[in-house]
Amino acid sequence: MHTILFDIDGTLLRCGGAGLAAIGHAMEQLFGVKQLGKVTVHGRTDQGILNDLFEQSSLVFDDHRDEFNQKYWTKLTQTLGESPSYLLPGVPALLEQLAAREDVALGVLTGNSERAAEVKLRHFNLDHFFHFGGFGDLHSNRNDVARLALESARSFLGGQFDASRLWVIGDTVNDIVCARAIDAKVVAVETGGASRSELEAAVPDSVLASLDDRSAFYKTLGLG
Ligand SMILES: [Mg+2]
């Protein structure tokens, strides 16, 4: 069984700022924060991003986690519809083909919190493709999220799990690093903004321009 763990943002879809817009809305409603500080989001986890944003407003995310998340997730449904969000090339066709195979199991490995991931995937009707995953609710370090994804895959697949056929697909250097932390192979895609040379410097097994190149994807993963 091939186990393939997909990153979400920049790999399957682009949210067009919907995530930060929803976070900004929740920060303003709860704490009167009018302007979010500058924060890097690509390749990071929700826990890490929110820790930084709260700290910039002299707040502690862990003290407000539940009330904040409720507002954030509810608003995200709306901001996704209002933002220039879109699916990346070839994504639905690739997932459909992979999901139809009996030798492939699909999961997610994302810095998004579990509920935010679900909202984003559902918005684009992709949620039904994925059966397990690791999420960024509680960890700032993506390597810890990769370990959660690995545990989740092992527990879902049981005896069918094959560690030598474990793949991570992502768009950032952090995706490549976290794949190696769980001894997975990794395909990097250029659809998230990182350049080919940045990605290659982290030595993935392959770099693809996009997931639209299905023959290269299948060849790399050894899926005939
Ligand atoms: Mg990403």
Centre of ligand 1 from the C-alpha of residue 109, in Å: 9
Is-same-fold flag (2-14+87-221; 18-82)? no
The pLDDT of residue 48 is 96
The pLDDT of residue 9 is 97
The pLDDT of residue 210 is 98
Centre of ligand 1 from the C-alpha of residue 57, in Å: 26
For 164-197, give one letter per residue: b (16+ CB within 10 A) or e: ebbbbbbbbbbbbbbbbbbebbbbbbbbbebeee
- Is 142 in contact with 7 (CB distance < 8 Å)? no
The pLDDT of residue 192 is 96
- For the segment 20-43, the average pLDDT, to the nearest whole number, is 93
Strands 185-189 and 166-170, bridge-based pairing: parallel
The pLDDT of residue 99 is 98
Centre of ligand 1 from the C-alpha of residue 195, in Å: 13
- For the segment 84-97, the average pLDDT, to the nearest whole number, is 97
Place of tokens 């949620």: 127
Per-residue confidence band for 95, with pLDDT thresholds at 50, 70 and 90: very high
Give the gyration radius of the chain's Cα atoms: 17
CATH of domain 2-14+87-221: 3.40.50.1000
The pLDDT of residue 49 is 96
Q: For 165-174, how does the pLDDT look when each residue is reduced to its tens digit (9 = 90+)?
A: 999 999 999 9
Whole-angstrom Cα distance, residue 196 to residue 206? 10
Whole-angstrom Cα distance, residue 187 to residue 90? 15
- Is 143 in contact with 194 (CB distance < 8 Å)? no
- Locate the domains of the chain by residue range: 2-14+87-221, 18-82
The pLDDT of residue 37 is 86
The pLDDT of residue 224 is 81
**Residue 109 backbone phi and psi in degrees, to 5:** -135, 100
Task: Report the chain's mean pLDDT, rounded to a whole number.
Answer: 97
Centre of ligand 1 from the C-alpha of residue 134, in Å: 13
The pLDDT of residue 47 is 96
Could you give the percent of the chain with pLDDT greater than 90? 95
Architecture of domain 18-82: Orthogonal Bundle (1.10)
Whole-angstrom Cα distance, residue 108 to residue 2? 14
Q: For 109-163, how does the pLDDT look when each residue is reduced to its tens digit (9 = 90+)?
A: 999 999 999 999 999 999 999 999 999 999 999 999 999 999 999 999 999 999 9
Centre of ligand 1 from the C-alpha of residue 111, in Å: 8
Per-residue confidence band for 196, with pLDDT thresholds at 50, 70 and 90: very high
Centre of ligand 1 from the C-alpha of residue 171, in Å: 5
